[in-house]
Amino acid sequence: MEEIINIKTSEPTKILKENILEELLDKSICLLGKSHSHYMNILQDLKLRLLEQRFHLAILGQFKRGKSTLINALLGESILPSAIIPVTAIPTFISYSKHVSVYVSFLNGKDPLNIDIQNKDQIRDILNNYVTENKNPNNNLGVSKVEVFYPVEFLSNGIVIIDTPGIGSTHRHNTETTLNFLAQCDAALIVLSIDPPPTEVEIEFFKEVCLKVSRIFFILNKIDYISPDERNVAEEFIYKVLREKAGIKEPIKLFSLSARLGLEAKKINDLQKLKESGLYDLEEFLKQFIAQDKASTLFDAIIKKAVNALQNIRLELELSIKALKMPIGEIESKLKLFKQKTAEMESRKDSIRDMIAGDHNRLLEFLEKECLGLKEKAYSHFKKVVETKISNSRAIPSYQDIHDMIAEEVPVFFEHELGNLQQTINKKLIGIIEKHCKILDEFLEYIRNSAEDIFEVPHISNNSIGKIELKRKPYWITGKWSTSEIPISGAFLDIFFPLSLRKKRITKRLNEHLEQLILENIEHIRYSILQNIEDTFTHFNSEIDKWIKESISLTQDAVEWAIEKKKHKVNEVSDEINKLEKTNKELINLIVELEKIKEI
């Protein structure tokens, strides 16, 4: 009784489209050559992004459900450590490369390790050393992330699989860290297993996950433990739990499989066994799903940007042709007029910048306000936690006990708040950028129209700069929350006070400590979000300057070039006109073909 999610685009079509796009980009780059090096670089960048596009697929679930084994099965090799005790403690990113290597990044700016791998056993040893709770307890080595580059066909289409620490294992805050991480991924596979059935912790986790990502698929692992009849019962049960307990309303896609049998089948290259294991269906589904997803987002953006670049060159060519054909006096006076017009545009440019600066400042004010609110919220939360602990204990708990309790609660609370605030700010950022992209589009259109009107060249169809991408590589933040020790100077005097006064003294000392601790952690949240805002605006402002400058200089350069030709190389003028007209025709064809790809 699987529910079906329609996949509209098939994998072969996607590959075909990608190949055509790559070919057209190559043709455009060739056509432009060195004479338009600026646009050639833009197109080369687009091609690189097309080839490098990534799809981040996170594998999540409670500890010991078989996440790492499932990834090994997808890779066809036992690369990631798996065992009967909780294993994975650090997220591991696995992506395609012809050569096998492992890259280990550390917290606190320590130099990363880049290890070339000679044989596969070596990868297992390295991963064992860095990502497992056993060899790297409490992340004593300060690892932030491990990346494995591995030559397997399944990854060759740009999929990055991410193995994550199990939720509900030793560290409660893993759940919050996982949720924050998840919001940055493209899709997630949640691994459940036959043995044991979903726990309360898992169900709570599913609820939260559904709020953060829309593309989640479920895996019911370890079906080798049961018969086919029992499997139907188990599936019905899982659907019921997901619907009724986790409250999932959307269609649920569930794959029952045995990662262990799938891995064995891959190792002996047995397709029949692979199908029986259930892994085959999952792989086919993922390939199609990822192809469709990538096709619909980045792909369209690349086409749009390529068309935009080619249209700009067309305008430049049209201007040069027109200028070459015009009497020199007339073209010079038109150029003068255009320069006057662009000088007038300065004030409009300034007002766009002012509007952006205004939104930038308002967003920073919003962040400050949210942090203030968060301070109040954190203070009353932790005060309650500490007071409950003190009033519930018959004997007064030791400072160490209280510190341990706070240290456990700090990452859970702040991780959650960081995730929420990040999500709110990102939404606002995207809104601001989109709004200004529209305004800017209108302005660039105005510059183009002015050039077209003044020089009387044919109108070239509208195009827009498209969306600026805010998406970054997903990052997993580990071990950064402040849980400093409670200062206990003077605490020895406590014992001389009666119990009620003693409790008061302790509560007062703790409140002071909490205040400090909350300030430090909120500053951490504030700083990391502030960095994101500043980076985005810096990047956006510099892009804007570039776009405006390009649009203006494009016209001036094209006309000035023609004036030079007419003044100093009169005999080459008619050859130049022919050459430019030929290139212009070829550009029109390329634009038509690029736009046709969308319809395939």
Is residue 551 a contact point for ligand GTP (CB under 6 A)? no
Q: Considering only residues 388-427, where is the footprint of ligand GTP by CB under 6 A?
A: none
**68 near Mg ion (CB under 5 A):** yes
Site string for ligand GTP, 158-177 (x = CB under 6 A): --------x-----------
Piece in contact with ligand GTP (CB under 6 A), picked from 84-92, 177-185, 436-444, 550-558: 84-92
Single-letter amino acid, residue 134 = N
Are 217 and 238 in contact, with CB atoms under 8 Å apart?
A: no
User: In the β-sheet with 254-256, what is the strand arrangement from edge to edge?
Assistant: 113-116, 101-106, 143-150, 92-96, 159-163, 55-61, 187-193, 216-221, 254-256
Nearest distance from residue 158's CB to Mg ion, in Å?
A: 23
Least gap, CB of 35 to ligand GTP (angstroms): 55
**Smallest distance from the beta carbon of 410 to ligand GTP, in angstroms?**
23
Q: Which residues contact 8 (CB under 8 A, 6 or more apart)?
A: 292
Cα-to-chain-centroid distance, residue 489: 46
Through-space distance between the first and last CA atoms of the chain, rounded to whole angstroms? 33
Q: Is 63 in the site for ligand GTP (CB under 6 A)?
A: yes
CA angle 337, 343, 346 (to 5 degrees): 150
Residue number, 50 or 89, with CB nearest to Mg ion: 89
Q: Report the candidate in 474, 600, 416, 434 with the shortest Cα–Cα distance to residue 160.
A: 474
Closest to Mg ion by CB, 86 or 419: 86
Crossing angle of helices 174-182 and 399-455, rounded to 10°? 10
Question: 579 and 586 in contact (C-beta within 8 Å)?
Answer: no
Instruction: State in angstroms the smallest separation of the CB of 88 from Mg ion.
Output: 3
User: 243 φ, ψ to 5°?
Assistant: -75, -55
Q: How many residues bind Mg ion (CB under 5 A)?
A: 4
Pick between residue 68 and residue 184 the one whose CB is nearest to Mg ion. Answer: 68
Q: Would you count residue 88 as binding Mg ion (CB under 5 A)? A: yes
Long-range CB contacts (within 8 A, 24+) of 1-9:
1/235, 1/236, 1/239, 2/253, 2/254, 3/251, 3/252, 3/253, 4/251, 5/251, 5/253, 5/289, 7/285, 7/288, 7/289, 7/292, 8/292, 9/288, 9/291, 9/292, 9/295, 9/296
Among candidate residues 178, 253, 171, 163, the one with its CA nearest the CA of residue 215: 253
Binding to Mg ion in span 38-67, by CB under 5 A = 67
Q: How many Å apart are CA 312 and CA 31, to the nearest integer?
A: 14
Q: With binding defined as CB under 6 A, does residue 82 bind ligand GTP?
A: yes
CB 31 within 8 A of CB 161: no
DSSP 379-390: HHHHHHHHHHHH
Q: Is 67 in the site for ligand GTP (CB under 6 A)?
A: yes
- C-alpha to C-alpha distance for 69 and 595, rounded to whole angstroms: 43
Q: Specify the residue, 29 or 261, whose C-beta has the smaller distance to ligand GTP.
A: 261
Query: Is residue 256 within the footprint of ligand GTP (CB under 6 A)?
Result: no
Q: Least distance (Å) from ligand GTP to the CB of residue 534?
A: 36
Interface residue with ligand GTP among 92, 184, 258, 320 (CB under 6 A) is: 258
Q: Determine the residue with CB nearest ligand GTP.
A: 166
Q: Which token pair is 65?
A: 């459900």
| Among positions 17, 47, 56, 64, the unique one binding ligand GTP when judged by CB under 6 A | 64
Binds Mg ion (CB under 5 A): choice among 87, 265, 410, 460:
87
Answer yes or no whether residue 224 interacts with ligand GTP by CB under 6 A. Answer: yes
562's contact among ligand GTP, Mg ion, none, with CB below 5 to 8 A by partner kind, is: none
Q: Judged by CB, which is closer to ligand GTP: 74, or 554?
A: 74
Based on CB atoms, which residue is closest to ligand GTP, 222 or 509?
222
Answer whether 337's CB lies under 8 Å from 454's CB. yes
Residue 106 interacts, among ligand GTP, Mg ion, none and using kind-specific CB cut-offs from 5 to 8 Å, with: none
Binding mask 563-592 for ligand GTP (x = CB under 6 A): ------------------------------
Which residues would be at the binding site for ligand GTP (CB under 6 A)? 61, 63-69, 82-84, 86-88, 166, 221-222, 224-225, 258-260
Which residues would be at the binding site for Mg ion (CB under 5 A)? 67-68, 87-88
